[in-house]
Amino acid sequence: MGSGQREPGQPVAVFGAYGHTGRFVVAELAARGFVPVPSGRNAKALEELAEEHGLESRTASVEDPASLDRALAGTVAVINCAGPFASTTGPVIEAALRAGIPYLDVAAELEANLDTFGLYRERAREAGAVIVPAMAFFGGLGDLLVTAAMGDWAEADEAHIAYALSSWHPTPGTRLSGAVSRERRGDHRLRYSGGQWERLTGQAPTTQWAFPEPMGTRQVIGEFTMADVITVPQHLSIPEVTTYMTVEAVRDVAAPHTPAPAAADESGRSDQTFLVDAVVRAGGAERRVTAVGQDIYAVTAPLVVEALERVLTGRTKAVGVASAGEMFDAPDFLRALAPHITPA
């Protein structure tokens, strides 16, 4: 455990800073006393963002390793917000390893997350590096909730993470990442069952989920596989991990004409709300941790910046590639997220 203290004004590279989520991350970093260093391939968008916040931007591209080295020079960490992550995680992780700085990303792409764990686990551990993938609403939050629900259990029979979104207006980045994932996965969907990832064809099942009141029982798509199905089994002994999404939200995100999120307050957050219900079961016993909040994209910023804060102050429990629940004290982390995310 570290001292919990850090120097104010530390520079943090944000790759893909001008994207929808990247802008929230830049604002959150600045609010917490960091100096964001916006980076990415679009020089014009970078320039506009940098001017708006009074920052220095650095143009960089994943095809040009030297440009990434320049973007990360002198920074204490990098947060990768640039999807599709299938093409950005590898090059940005490599640049972070060369620079000797921590890497965090907000990837919800299942294949990109599997690649990060599979390709970098040994190298990162040997280098004493810290790499935290999927430190976002999908992947990070669900993993923290399940880990907190486990408490003193060393293992469980099954974990279920059910999402109730008031609506799901996808960003262009979500649409692009989804398209890339589908391209890599083909007609298959991923399921974690019997302690392994399975590729299935056919429709995901529709079922019902009893959310806490006042929401109550809702129709959900079962096996609607989100990044938690990758992050949770990396460190918890649970052979069955399933995620669910309310039917209306699935319809929203699948429809080609659903608009992007619209700002509803001065911080740029949309008025879309969420409830995440995490349940673990072992030998007939059940434990549950539930969280609510507003705007699944905006809330990724406090999640990833809180993670960064803990990495830089040594409040970590692992070295190498680790998801949120393995890297951090999950109950303490969740408490620190208030008022962005609160218990239901």
Q: Which region among 9-13, 234-238, 338-342 has the lowest average model confidence (pLDDT)? A: 338-342
Q: Decide which of 259, 274, 294 is a domain's last residue.
A: 294
**Residue span of the structural domain in which 71 resides:** 11-136+299-343
Q: Could you tell me if 152 and 289 lie in one domain?
A: yes
Q: Could you tell me if 109 and 225 lie in one domain?
A: no
Q: Is residue 3 part of a domain?
A: no
C-alpha to C-alpha distances, 257 to 77, 253, 309, nearest whole angstrom: 37, 9, 38
CATH number for the domain spanning 258: value is 3.30.360.10
Q: Could you tell me if 117 and 48 lie in one domain?
A: yes
Q: Is residue 314 part of a domain?
A: yes
For 149-163, the pLDDT digits (tens) are 999 999 999 999 999
- Provide the angle, in degrees to the nearest 10, between the axes of the packed helices 172-185 and 85-99: 100
- pLDDT-derived band at 254, boundaries 50, 70, 90: confident
Q: Could you tell me if 97 and 245 lie in one domain?
A: no
Confidence (pTM)? 0.95
Q: In this model, does residue 280 exceed pLDDT 90?
A: yes
Q: Could you tell me if 104 and 200 lie in one domain?
A: no
Give the separation between CA 139 and CA 220, rounded to whole angstroms.
Answer: 19
Q: In this model, does residue 66 exceed pLDDT 60?
A: yes
For 169-183, the pLDDT digits (tens) are 988 888 877 777 667
Q: What is the mean pLDDT of the chain?
A: 94
Question: How many domains does the structure of the chain reveal?
Answer: 2
Q: Is residue 1 part of a domain?
A: no
Q: Is residue 5 part of a domain?
A: no
Q: Residue 4: what pLDDT? A: 61
For 90-101, the pLDDT digits (tens) are 999 999 999 999
Q: In this model, does residue 21 exceed pLDDT 60?
A: yes
CATH number for the domain spanning 321: value is 3.40.50.720
